[in-house]
């Protein structure tokens, strides 16, 4: 039986909706093109390839749709930040985390966070390579994070920022899975947000032991 039966949705929207649900619940790697096509109620097995080219194409479309939503929210936060802008590790983490925590409020956002938890190693964690000028809010946030790492060696800075982003992604994915399964998280969302920000801020600002060689 098709997973999506809303006639108001166009074919490509139905395919994206079903793909998002399956990627979040079944897993990106375990989901087949045929699963998506059948779930969307399409008789033509080539429907997904016609609209998106491949399973990777529909995955990219889903990610880009949510990234735009996150970017708009993050840019608005930065624009409204008192001068001179985010200047501490706590500030930088708040700008990183808040737009993502906001996604927990609706089912599609939760599904996206579950997906990101699976493919985070495929995304541009520096925010400068594939995203570049298309995501100025993320680029500004990454730069604010990098500025808070006390050891200025480039490799250490990049490794620290990437580790923090991976931690945030994993934490959000776990919470999104709990919410999608109908569970009641032990920690309320405001406290979850504050705790995630505090952990990331501490990790960014952590000093290396004395005597470490350059």
Residues 6 and 42 in one domain: yes
Sign of CA dihedral 191, 192, 195, 196: negative
Boundary (domain end) residue, out of 53, 82, 97: 53
- 162: how many CB neighbours lie within 10 A of its CB? 15
Q: Among 158, 151, 155, which residue's Cα sits nearest to residue 205?
A: 151
Parent domain of 153: 65-205
% of the chain with per-residue pLDDT over 90: 79
The residue written with tokens 């400068």 in the block is 128
122 assigned to some structural domain: yes
- C-alpha span between 203 and 108 (Å, rounded): 30
pLDDT score, position 85: 87
CATH of the domain at 8: 1.10.10
pLDDT in tens, 44-101: 889 999 999 999 999 999 999 999 999 999 999 999 999 988 999 999 999 999 999 9
Q: Please provide the DSSP assignment of 42-91 as one string.
A: -S-TTHHHHHHSSHHHHHHHHHHHHHHHHHHHHHHHHHTSPTT---SHHH
Residues 18 and 96 in one domain: no
Domain count of the chain? 2
Residues 43 and 83 in one domain: no
Residues 84 and 142 in one domain: yes
Residues 45 and 104 in one domain: no
Residues 25 and 112 in one domain: no
194 assigned to some structural domain: yes
Q: Among 4, 201, 202, which residue's Cα sits nearest to residue 92?
A: 201
- The pTM of the full predicted model, rounded to 2 decimals, is 0.89
Residues 46 and 77 in one domain: no
Residues 79 and 176 in one domain: yes
Where residue 9 falls (left for φ over 0; alpha for ψ -120 to 50; beta otherwise) is beta
Sign of CA dihedral 108, 129, 201, 163: positive
pLDDT at 213 over 70: no
pLDDT score, position 95: 97
pLDDT in tens, 133-168: 478 899 999 999 999 999 999 999 999 999 999 999
60 assigned to some structural domain: no
Residues 83 and 184 in one domain: yes
Residues 162 and 72 in one domain: yes
Residues 71 and 149 in one domain: yes
Residues 94 and 174 in one domain: yes
């Amino acid at each position: 039986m098709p997973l999506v039966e809303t006639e108001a949705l166009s074919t490509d929207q139905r395919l994206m909706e079903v793909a998002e649900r399956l990627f979040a619940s079944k897993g990106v790697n375990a989901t087949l093109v045929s699963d998506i096509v059948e779930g969307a109620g399409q008789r033509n097995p080539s429907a997904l390839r016609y609209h998106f080219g491949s399973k990777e194409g529909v995955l990219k479309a889903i990610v880009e749709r949510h990234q735009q939503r996150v970017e708009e929210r993050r840019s608005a936060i930065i624009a409204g930040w008192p001068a001179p802008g985010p200047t501490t590790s706590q500030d930088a983490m708040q700008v990183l985390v808040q737009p993502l925590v906001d996604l927990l409020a609706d089912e599609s956002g939760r599904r996206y966070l579950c997906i990101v938890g699976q493919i985070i190693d495929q995304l541009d964690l520096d925010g400068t390579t594939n995203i570049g000028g298309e995501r100025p809010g993320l680029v500004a946030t990454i730069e604010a994070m990098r500025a808070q790492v006390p050891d200025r060696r480039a490799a250490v800075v990049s490794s620290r920022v990437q580790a923090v982003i991976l931690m945030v992604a994993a934490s959000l994915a776990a919470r999104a899975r709990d919410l999608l399964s109908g569970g009641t998280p032990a920690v309320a969302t405001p406290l979850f947000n504050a705790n995630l920000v505090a952990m990331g801020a501490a990790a960014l600002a952590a000093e290396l032991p004395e005597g470490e060689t350059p």
